[in-house]
Amino acid sequence: MNKKHEITQEFLNNILESMEGGVLTVNTEGQITSFNHSAEEITGFSKEEALGKDCHDILRSEICKDACPLEETIKTGKPIYNYEIIIKSKSGEKVPVNITSSPLRDSSNKIFGTVENFRDLTKHKGLWGRLREEKNRAQRYLNIAGVTIVAINEKGITTLINRKGCEVLGYEEEEIIGKNWFDLVVPEELRQKRKQTFANVMAGETKEIEDYENLIVTKSGEERIVDWHNTTLTDEKGQIIGTLSSGEDITMRKQTEAELIRTEKLASLGQLAASVAHEVNNPIAGILVYVSLLLKKHKEQNIQTEATETQLLKMKKELERTARIITNLLDFSRQSEPNIRPIEVNATIEAALQLVEHQISLESIRLDKKLDPKLPLIRADFDKIQQVLINIILNATQAMSDGGTLTITTSAAEGIKIDSSIKDTVRIDITDTGIGIPEENISKLFTPFFTTKEKGKGVGLGLPMVHGIIEKHGGRIDVDSKPNQGTTFTLYLEVMDGK
Ligand SMILES: Nc1ncnc2c1ncn2[C@@H]1O[C@H](COP(=O)(O)OP(=O)(O)O)[C@@H](O)[C@H]1O
Ligand SMILES: [Mg+2]
């Protein structure tokens, strides 16, 4: 090597090392022959690791596999400017770079390799960098959301999902993005219908339903209930290009609602069981006496007397009563399916009273029924309304442990305001002369687990359950109470053919 050449080489090396962009040179075989400091920083590979390696093994870009800018330069002898590729750094990170490739020629103008210089676009303070920053920021916002956020394009392909969505569904982001949303997460039996609705919305034929509950299936095959809020996405011309939805996993809430009704039912059953057992025991004791009498007569062959007939009839009556009580209790304890049908309010009250009558008489409470015989029918779930009445009546009896009067009144009440509508209703007033409710407790009555009763007597789920059932029926419940004087619970239930 002569002196002049040495200076030139060193001079060149200095220039290369001081350059901000990554620079590497390759020979005609594609092997790396030089690698500057910036190239080390961008790729994460050291000079020692890179030298002599195939360029593809260091840049590791998917695009270069099919269309290698370097081969192109060597073949045509023409530079390629600003070719954008995504390389994979040594640590596996994807880095978008802008690459320019120019031929290297020897003194006889023969190409002996290429020089590649590339810039890390994420570091570049240009549009690319800003866009990427924006996207990262948006993704961060989406990721702290406690609900699923998902965007679907007009073909039903998922284009965005946040972290919560991945968690709920049990998939990695890569497993969801680019896939058909409906094929991936909608249960098979609902899929066709949902796809059709979506297609109609995309075609602008139907408006997207803004709020609905729907089932989804997670990766592990579990079904979850999600409450969705949707909005359609449009381009600058107003063309529909997809939907953006947020969804809240309400599976737990739904289960809790059902659980609440079950728990309260068990609690009131527990309270009822003792009194019903008592109630059933009396007629059975009576029947036993008659049976013994009849057995004695039978032995004496003295059986067909008038007295015998009277005794048998009494037994029959008592047995019928026992059977009725048991049937009613069993009906009440049964897990009934929702069953909305026309019902008579007075009959429902009588059925509820049959179960609590004994409790009422035990507490020496006088029962005053003022039932209007000409009430219109209401559309309701008999079992659920019965459960509501039992809870309110039991609360009333528990509030009158020193006795008192329980008054149950029914009447037709027209033009009652319920939420924002005016309805024709049947009104039920259940009034006690008990301890009353202090002003500050009135607002807490419908909160789950609010109770003033000792352990074993109350769990505080009765009125929340009552409220839930009445609300589901589109009805209304009012409370009026004066401490030490008594309480009235008023229910309004819409009549069947009301305005
Ligand atoms: N008729 C009533 N008179 C006085 N207090 C009442 C009456 N009804 C309800 N309450 C009050 O409301 C609370 C909540 O009632 P509820 O939800 O049925 O639960 P629980 O009966 O298990 O306590 C009761 O603990 C009681 O303090
Ligand atoms: Mg109660």
Each residue's pLDDT tens digit, 176-194: 988 899 999 999 988 998 8
Which run of H or of E encompasses 253?
Answer: helix 251-299
Q: In CATH terms, are 3-124 and 129-249 the same topology? A: yes
Per the model's pLDDT, the better-predicted residue between 154 and 262 turns out to be: 154
**Which pLDDT belongs to residue 324?**
72
Distance 461 CA to ligand 2 centre (A): 7
Mean pLDDT of 276-290: 75
Topology of domain 3-124 in CATH is: Beta-Lactamase (3.30.450)
Phi/psi at 172 (nearest 5 deg)?
Answer: -80, 155
193-209 pLDDT, tens digit each? 889 989 998 988 877 66
- Long-range pairs for 93-99: beta carbons < 8 A, 24 or more residues apart: 93/44, 95/42, 95/120, 95/121, 95/122, 96/120, 96/121, 96/122, 96/128, 96/132, 97/22, 97/42, 97/121, 98/124, 99/69
Mean pLDDT of 452-467: 81
Mean pLDDT of 238-252: 89
- Of 42-46, 267-271, 332-336, minimum mean pLDDT range: 332-336
Distance 334 CA to ligand 2 centre (A): 19
**Which pLDDT belongs to residue 323?**
78
DSSP string, 60-124: --HHHHHS-HHHHHHHH---EEEEEEEEE-TTS-EEEEEEEEEEEE-TTS-EEEEEEEEEETTTS
User: CA-CA distance, 252 to 271, in Å (whole number)?
Assistant: 28
Nearest ligand for residue 437 CA: 1
CB 428 within 8 A of CB 408: yes
42-67 pLDDT, tens digit each? 999 999 999 999 988 998 887 777 67
pLDDT surpassing 70 at residue 333: no
- Long-range pairs for 84-90: beta carbons < 8 A, 24 or more residues apart: 84/121, 85/59, 85/61, 86/61, 86/62, 87/42, 87/43, 87/59, 87/60, 87/61, 87/118, 88/59, 88/60, 88/61, 89/42, 89/43, 89/44, 90/43, 90/44, 90/45
Does the beta carbon of 260 lie inside 6 Å of ligand 1?
A: no
Does the beta carbon of 496 lie inside 6 Å of ligand 1?
A: no
pLDDT surpassing 90 at residue 407: yes
Nearest-CA residue for atom 21 of ligand 1: 458
Nearest-CA residue for atom 24 of ligand 1: 451
User: CA-CA distance, 316 to 30, in Å (whole number)?
Assistant: 105
* CB count in 10 Å sphere of residue 67: 11
Closest CA to 19 of 46, 38, 43: 38
**Which pLDDT belongs to residue 339?**
83
The residue type found at 327 is: T
pLDDT surpassing 50 at residue 499: no
Closest CA to 349 of 333, 327, 373, 330: 373
C-alpha count within 13 angstroms, C-beta hemisphere, residue 285: 6
Mean pLDDT of 21-30: 90
Mean pLDDT of 476-493: 96
Please report, for the chain, the start and end positions of each structural domain, with discontinuous segments joined by +.
Answer: 3-124, 129-249, 255-494
Token pair in block for residue 320: 């019928």
Per the model's pLDDT, the better-predicted residue between 347 and 82 turns out to be: 347
| CATH pick for 129-249 out of 3.60.10.10, 3.30.450.20, 3.40.309.10, 3.30.300.130 | 3.30.450.20
pLDDT surpassing 50 at residue 263: yes
Phi/psi at 397 (nearest 5 deg)?
Answer: -65, -35
Mean pLDDT of 213-241: 89
DSSP string, 35-68: E-HHHHHHH---HHHHTTSBHHHHH--HHHHHS-
Token pair in block for residue 286: 């009576």
**Which pLDDT belongs to residue 3?**
54
Nearest-CA residue for atom 18 of ligand 1: 462
Residues 6 or more apart whose Cβ sits within 8 Å of residue 496: 342, 376, 377, 378, 379
pLDDT surpassing 90 at residue 14: no
Distance 469 CA to ligand 1 centre (A): 17
- Of 150-154, 168-172, 357-361, 386-390, minimum mean pLDDT range: 357-361
- Of 158-172, 327-341, 387-401, minimum mean pLDDT range: 327-341
When pLDDT is cut at 50, 70 and 90, the band that residue 236 belongs to is confident
Does the beta carbon of 485 lie inside 6 Å of ligand 1?
A: no
pLDDT surpassing 60 at residue 2: no
**Which pLDDT belongs to residue 448?**
74
**Which pLDDT belongs to residue 70?**
82
Mean pLDDT of 430-444: 94
Does the beta carbon of 264 lie inside 6 Å of ligand 1?
A: no
Token pair in block for residue 331: 């009906």
Average pLDDT, the chain: 85
Does the beta carbon of 391 lie inside 6 Å of ligand 1?
A: yes
Token pair in block for residue 167: 């968690």
When pLDDT is cut at 50, 70 and 90, the band that residue 1 belongs to is very low
pLDDT surpassing 90 at residue 482: yes
Mean pLDDT of 95-108: 88
Phi/psi at 343 (nearest 5 deg)?
Answer: -135, 160
**Which pLDDT belongs to residue 50?**
94
| CATH pick for 255-494 out of 3.30.565.10, 3.90.1170.50, 3.40.50.300, 3.40.190.80 | 3.30.565.10
Distance 353 CA to ligand 2 centre (A): 15
pLDDT surpassing 80 at residue 265: no
Which run of H or of E encompasses 389?
Answer: helix 382-398
Distance 357 CA to ligand 2 centre (A): 16
Phi/psi at 159 (nearest 5 deg)?
Answer: -110, -15
User: CA-CA distance, 416 to 187, in Å (whole number)?
Assistant: 42
CB 114 within 8 A of CB 99: no
Does the beta carbon of 453 lie inside 6 Å of ligand 1?
A: yes
Mean pLDDT of 432-457: 87
Mean pLDDT of 277-302: 77
Distance 469 CA to ligand 2 centre (A): 14
Residues 6 or more apart whose Cβ sits within 8 Å of residue 369: 349, 353, 407, 408
